[in-house]
Structures are given as C-alpha cells and as structure tokens.
Homo-oligomer: A and B are copies of this chain.
C-alpha cells in the first residue's frame, strides 16, 4: 500500500462534476478521489484549507514531473532505436515543454477542475502544473506500468502528434530575440568552432550574451543547432 500523502486528508469531498470529468480523463473511476483532487489544488489556493499546513499540488507536481520525463524518455528510446541521445533529449523537450503541458491540460478540460486564486488565463502554467500533479497521482494510485499506459495513450498520444512535432522546429532564437526587444535588452550570439575532446571531432559552440542580465550556453553540430541550444537554455532561465 502506498503511504498517505499528508495533505490529502484536509480536502473536501469532490463534487459530481469533478468526478465525471476525472473519469473521462482517466478512463476509470478512481476510489482514492482525494489523491486526485489534490492534483488540482494550485498553490495560490493552499490556504483555502488550513492556515498552518500548505495543502496544494506542489509535491505531486514534483513527483509527476519526474515520472513524466521517465515515461517519455522510455517511449522515445523504444520508438527510435537508431537515434542518438541528442535527438532523444531534444524530442523529449519538444513534447514535455511548458506550452505543450498547458495546452494538453486545457484540452483535457482542466479549466473547471483546477482550484486557483490566480487567473489561469494570465498564468497558463497553472494548467501544466496540475497535469504533472495528476500524473504523480496516477502513478501513486496505479503503479508505474499502468500509469505509463494511461499517460502515454490517453494523454500524450491523444493530444500530441509526435510525427508532426518532429518536423517542427521550435525557434528558440527568435523567441529570445523577441524577448530582448520586449524587455529592452541587447541579445547577442557569438559562435565559434572547437574540438570536442570527448569525441575528438569539431563542434560549434554559441555563447548567448544578454547585456548585464541572463546568458545561456549551447553547443551542437552546426552553428544553427548550437545557437538554438543556447537560446533554449536562456529561455529556461528567463521563463523557469
């Protein structure tokens, strides 16, 4: 038996609408409602329950985030036996990036289910956080293998077209440049070629310099790729 999560016991009994929607998402009616209900309590609504104990989905989100990464890692590892690690890493981040998580959660109908004191429209990450927390709850309730099936089949593959995703290239460079314009920061890329001492072959390295602020570093087999990686890293810092 899984241990009880400390904050579960402070939750109210969920209403019928919540139960119906949850069943639609999962494909079954869980007995442990409160565990699932907890996944939908954003930290901004913590104090709805108890002042001295923070009851929210952050712990489940921590767990679900890691579980989701693993499941997608294995999915890609098996689906692409001939692809190298760099491809797998990039493809995973295309799948589980913040925008996609938010998008999936909205499509799954989280809008009515999430309890939040913050506007979900202005803070879309409330959606993605709840999705990760839900994945944590499914894992605790059903174990890894059953959870993997639910997550991959009912969530990821239902809402993400992997093949189309592979064709699209996320243009991190444009996004970081746009960010710079919006925030009145100068964003500079400097690229050069150097030897990778591990493989003994040349690689491009890009330094991304944002004057007096945030910088990312990337590398890759072409100037373009290394620029993309540096831009992605800087975005993680900015948005993270």
Chain A residues in the interface with B (C-beta under 8 A): 2-6, 43-44, 46, 54, 58-59, 61-63, 65-67, 69-70, 72-74, 77-78, 81-82, 84-85, 88-89, 118, 123, 139, 143-145, 197-200, 207, 209-210, 212-217, 233, 237-238, 240
A62 / chain B contacts, CB cutoff of 8 Å: 73, 77, 85, 88-89
A215/B207 contact (C-beta < 8 A), A44-B198, A73-B62 known: no
Q: Contact: B59 with A85, CB < 8 Å?
A: yes
Report the Cα distance A186→B167, complex, angstroms: 41
| A46 to B200 Cα, complex, angstroms | 11
- Residues of chain B lying within 8 A (CB to CB) of residue A123: 198
A43 touches B6 (CB 8 A): no
Set of chain B residues within 8 Å of A217, measured between Cβ atoms: 214, 237-238, 240
**Chain B hits for A78, CB < 8 A:** 2-3
- Docked-complex contact A207 and B198, CB < 8 angstroms: no
Q: Top 5 closest A-B pairs, CB basis?
A: A144-B144, A58-B85, A66-B73, A215-B215, A66-B70
Bound together, the chains give a CA A198 to CA B117 distance in angstroms of 8
Least Cβ distance of A54 to chain B in Å? Answer: 6
Number of chain copies forming the complex: 2
Q: What's the least CB distance linking A77 to chain B, in Å?
A: 5
A145-B238 Cα distance, complex, nearest whole Å: 36
Contacts beyond the supplied A4-B81, A144-B145, A217-B237: 11 A-B pairs with Cβ under 8 Å = A5-B81, A43-B198, A44-B199, A58-B85, A62-B85, A66-B66, A66-B72, A118-B197, A207-B214, A210-B215, A217-B240
Residue from the list B2, B6, B67 in contact with A70, Cβ < 8 A: B67
A182 to B236, CA, bound (A): 27
Complex: how many Å from CA A145 to CA B2?
13
Q: Are A74 and B63 in contact (CB under 8 A)?
A: yes
Nearest-neighbour CB distance to chain B for A32, whole angstroms, equals: 16
The residue of chain B having its C-beta at the shortest distance from the C-beta of A143 within the complex is B145
Point out the residue from B43, B145, B210, B237 that lies within 8 Å of A199, measured CB to CB.
Answer: B43
Q: Which of B59, B72, B88 contacts A77 (CB 8 A)?
A: B59
Nearest CB of B to A9, in Å: 11
Bound-state CA distance A58–B88 (Å) is 10
**5 sample A-B contacts, Cβ–Cβ < 8 Å, listed by A number:** A59-B88, A207-B213, A207-B214, A214-B217, A217-B238
